[in-house]
Every structure is written in C-alpha cells, then in structure tokens.
Copies of this chain bind each other. A is one copy, B any other.
C-alpha cells in the first residue's frame, strides 16, 4: 500500500459545500474542490462517479443537516418554521438545491419527520400528513421567493413570514375542509 488516502469523502463534500455557498453551483468545479482538499481533479473520480454524483452527495449532506436543525428546534410549528427559515438564510445556495432532482427521497423523508410531529401536535395524527404538506409547501415557496428577491416590492419580509405562519397555524388548528 504505497499511497495512503490523501483525503476522505467527508472532507471532499465539506469542501464542496463551502465552495457552493461562497460562489454558487457554477463555482463548484471538480478542479476547485480538488484544490481545496489538496489533490488533483482526476483523483475525485475514485470517490464520486462524476460531478453530478458529488453534487448529489452535497445535497444529501445538506438535507441531513437541515433535518438535524429541525430536530433541535423547539418542537412546535413556530419553532420548526423559524429553524427552517434560519437555515435557508445561512445556506441559501444549498437550500435552493434541496427541492431539485439532486435531492433523494429517503433523505427528504427523514428530514421532514420534525415537521410531521409538529403538525400532529397541532391537528392530531389523522390529519398530520396533509397539514405538514400544506405547511412545508408554503414555507418552501416563501423562502424560494424570498431568496430570489421576489419580495422587494416593499413591506417587511419578517412580518410577512409571521403573518403567513400564524394564518396557517390558526386555520389548521380550527378546521379541515
């Protein structure tokens, strides 16, 4: 065994996450990632089949971290909502990739467990799934629009988020159509 490993998959993914966040997806090149971990680009192909596989691994790591954040947030829907938004603000580039074909289904399901629990606490187990979907769709769309700058049309964005959150909370808590 003349050559020990000079890096690890985890180190490569972490380097890729940093490059993604500071320069966007276009900056996430095999050469940039390789340089950051101290190897040459061809070495990365021992670890990831191609650039797409590396991006997929980056998104998987992002989704797992998002899930951890939601787990640690206060367990009601308000806590989950604000943790979700805080994560999107800290990692806008990575967040934008969470709802693309790069994301794998089982990782998304694991990360959504805290949302499902918070929804169940509000509306009961029976209606938890549709309620969680309604909430997640709204929060995801809101953040996507906020990150894209679609809210520059005046008005306080923090207040708009809380307005939507409280509206959804009260409507979910009272009735199911």
Residues in chain A within 8 A of chain B (CB atoms): 96, 99-101, 103, 105, 108-109, 129-130, 133-134, 136-142, 144-145, 148-153, 155, 160, 163-164, 166-172, 175-177
Q: List 25 A-B contacts (CB under 8 A).
A: A99-B141, A99-B145, A103-B148, A103-B150, A105-B149, A129-B155, A130-B160, A133-B160, A134-B163, A134-B167, A134-B168, A136-B141, A137-B139, A137-B145, A137-B164, A138-B141, A141-B144, A144-B144, A167-B176, A167-B177, A168-B171, A170-B171, A170-B175, A170-B177, A171-B171
Q: Give, as a whole number of angstroms, the nearest-CB distance from A69 to chain B.
A: 18
Residues in B neighbouring A150, C-beta threshold 8 A: 99, 103, 105, 108
Contact at B141–A100, with CB atoms within 8 Å? no
Q: Give, as a whole number of angstroms, the nearest-CB distance from A57 to chain B.
A: 17
Residues in B neighbouring A153, C-beta threshold 8 A: 105, 109
